[in-house]
Copies of this chain bind each other. A is one copy, B any other.
């Protein structure tokens, strides 16, 4: 199989959400043009993204919502549940615990850790916060994915401890790049960085508002 770009994988997730919406509304087929319009991309891109994984839909008749959605679910590994551990029970961590979209997609947070003894033993969304020392024992028990919501200074070390337990997928919320073995899947969510992309856009292409201010 050709190497699938990360942007394609992200769009598959978006297509799946849109197909789920269509299914809920009783729609049976959808065209690449319609899917592209709702996903904010082009029909050619939709077809290219799907072509990595086989042939879907019939020319002129569009995609079966049920079939394409089942195929995407399988491609994205969503037919099974994934066991998730959260490291860090600060504000970001607690918000993630309450994020309903995770469980709905099969990502079940089973364990929460924090290095702060005052947080250990507290209950968050039905889970008891465990001491950071327990990380290795619990993760080795079959956790698939670790979410890191720890301070920048701790992130690399915590990530290495996670990887040492055999976990091969990390979602990192600490605003720092992590250096990990190539066989570990790593995604970083950096909210300040996204805001900086916006300030870049505002600063480099003065908007109507900026212009108005200068008047």
Contacts and interface: CB of A to CB of B under 8 A. Distances in A.
Number of copies: 2
B99 A145 contact: no
Most chain B CB neighbours (cut-off 10 Å) among A17, A84, A145, A179:
A17
B198 A17 contact: no
A197 B10 contact: yes
A193 B10 contact: yes
Nearest to A146: B198
A25 to B, nearest CB: 13
Contacts of A195: 82, 84, 102, 105, 107, 145, 171, 187
Contacts of A209: 144, 166-168
A100 to B, nearest CB: 9
A154 interface: no
A38 B198 contact: no
A142 to B, nearest CB: 8
B202 A145 contact: yes
A95 interface: yes
A199 interface: yes
A175 B77 contact: no
A101 interface: yes
A94 B91 contact: yes
Contacts of A197: 6, 9-10, 13, 185, 187
Given A82-B195, A95-B95, 12 more contacts: A40-B177, A40-B178, A40-B179, A76-B199, A77-B199, A77-B203, A77-B204, A91-B98, A102-B195, A144-B202, A145-B202, A187-B197
5 contacts: A9-B200, A75-B204, A166-B208, A169-B199, A189-B191
